[in-house]
Structure 1
Amino acid sequence: MHREGPSSIFTIYFNGQFWVGTIERIEGSELSAAHVVFGAEPSNEQALQFVIEKWGELRFSPKVKTEQKKESGNPKRRQREAALAAAKATPSTKAQQAIAKMREQNKAAAQKESAAARREASAWKRSVRANKRKNKHRGH
């Protein structure tokens, strides 16, 4: 049975310091990912509650091209592959690349904003100095 449309994989794993969730959304041959830090180990109920309440607020990374795997028709093979994937419990490399790309874009946007704020502050200081000089010249 082949499923059409987008699919999602929600992986929760311990990264050595925190419990982290990685959500991989696959639409056709494109993958986008989101990253969530839980802190303490979430229970199954907390993970389900997160999916129900916060799914719409997730910021997914830009889409990355990925090759689609051909699914095996054998249900036992699919079951073994699912068990292997569950035991591994780490996000795919493509998901990590997508999250890194999103971080780079956020960093570039933040740099542009801070540069604009610096320019604006500099212009404001310049205008204050000019007004001071003008007022001094007028004898105020």
Structure 2
Amino acid sequence: MTDRQVSRSIDVDAPPATVFELLADPRRHPDLDGSGTVRSAISGPARLSLGSRFGVGMRLRLPYRITNTVVEFEEGRLIAWRHAARHRWRYELEPTATGGTRVTETFDWSTALMPALIDRSGFPTLNARGIEQTLPRLKALAEAS
């Protein structure tokens, strides 16, 4: 992979503000995560903004904790965070003609400290599968709001 990004999109029958509120609340991230790796929100603000730091309990074979920093933020439109290895998770929201939202989730390792290692790790494929499971969960939660 040369662009070092994997993305998937879904249309949600809820306005961008509703979807964004779910993404901006780190306590909801375990509910949204389809990969099964995000287990709990352990620290941070109730609502994220640019520069916010939040801790998450994770499990990938073994349990661990990770601290993320919000590095991109545009209210109702864009939010992205990274952790110490510097790869990013990004959500872009576009309003649709029917009042809904087109959500694109991206795993971007072009900004990682060791992108070549991620290239060889299998994480891009695993994360693409995780995105494919996360987006329907986000859709269901937003549409139920």
Range into which the TM-score falls when normalised by the shorter chain: under 0.3
Name the structure where helix makes up a greater proportion of residues: 1
Tell me the TM-score normalised to structure 2 length: 0.26
Between structure 1 and structure 2, the one with the greater Rg is 1
Name the structure where strand makes up a greater proportion of residues: 2
Higher RCO, 1 vs 2 (CA within 8 Å, ≥6 residues apart): 2
